[in-house]
Amino acid sequence: MQSAYEIKKEICEIGRRIYMNGFVAANDGNISVKVSDNEFYCTPTGVSKGFMTPDMILKVDAQGNKLEGKLNPSTEIKMHLRVYRERPDVRSVVHAHPPTATAFACANIPLDEMIMPEAILFLGSVPVCAYGTPSTDEIPDSLAPFIQSHDTFLLQNHGALTVGHNLMNAYFHMESLEFYAKVTLLAKQLGGAQELSCGDLEKLMELRRKFNVPGKHPGCKKCDKLGTSECRCKDNAAPAKEAAHVCTCGKHDGGNNDALVAEITRKVLQALGR
């Protein structure tokens, strides 16, 4: 079990990482760690996360009242405490403003394209929570529709929030989120990414179960029931020589590339003046 000093030191280290990675600017962002049902270490307000020292970290109770520390807690502590109340499995919360992910949040675009196995395994789709005024209950309230099924959230016109079973896990979710956002943006600039089929998603969800990955996961964004007996995504034989995945959930092409090939061919012929 970590000592109080070790927890505070780790919070400072994660603060330094989010600052050095450009996930926050100036005094942005906040971090917390749960140590008991009524004790939480958190970062102070008005301090750069890249320059914190263990003596700056303070302790609050479940209502946000300061128990220890000379500085004042982050004004966003309400958001953290709501997560801890709703999700007993969560032991740490990280809030930051990673630029690419935050751009998606400002554009009100969820990260829900199933294009990267790692993101699918550990994040799933990432929703956009409705805008709320910072430091008020509006932001904690905006998490309500998603908090039981996600560990990673975009905060509209604000930033991102990630949770985990420990601090490093919550931080890695933030790193993975920003990388996923960067790849998604680049793929869009290249004309759009090819999403994985429901069959591929099923295999990844099976790996997640096999690895016993902790935390919440939204499952298949196609029919929202991937991996359960209610999933409508089936692997059916296709008339082609090689079996192709056909999805019956009616929300995507399930891996059928005929339309894509036809469109590419049309554009090539158009470019050639034919």
Residues labelled catalytic = 76
3-state secondary structure of 97: coil
Residue holding tokens 């750069």?
48
Q: How is residue 23 written in tokens?
A: 């996930």
Number of C-beta neighbours around residue 107 at 10 A: 12
Distance CA 29, CA 265 (A): 48
Q: How far is CA 99 from CA 94, 122, 131, 179, in A?
A: 15, 20, 17, 11
Alpha helix (H) residue ranges in the chain: 4-20, 77-86, 99-106, 117-122, 138-143, 167-189, 198-211, 258-271
For residue 123, the cross-strand partners are none
The answer to whether the CB of 94 falls within 8 A of the CB of 170 is yes
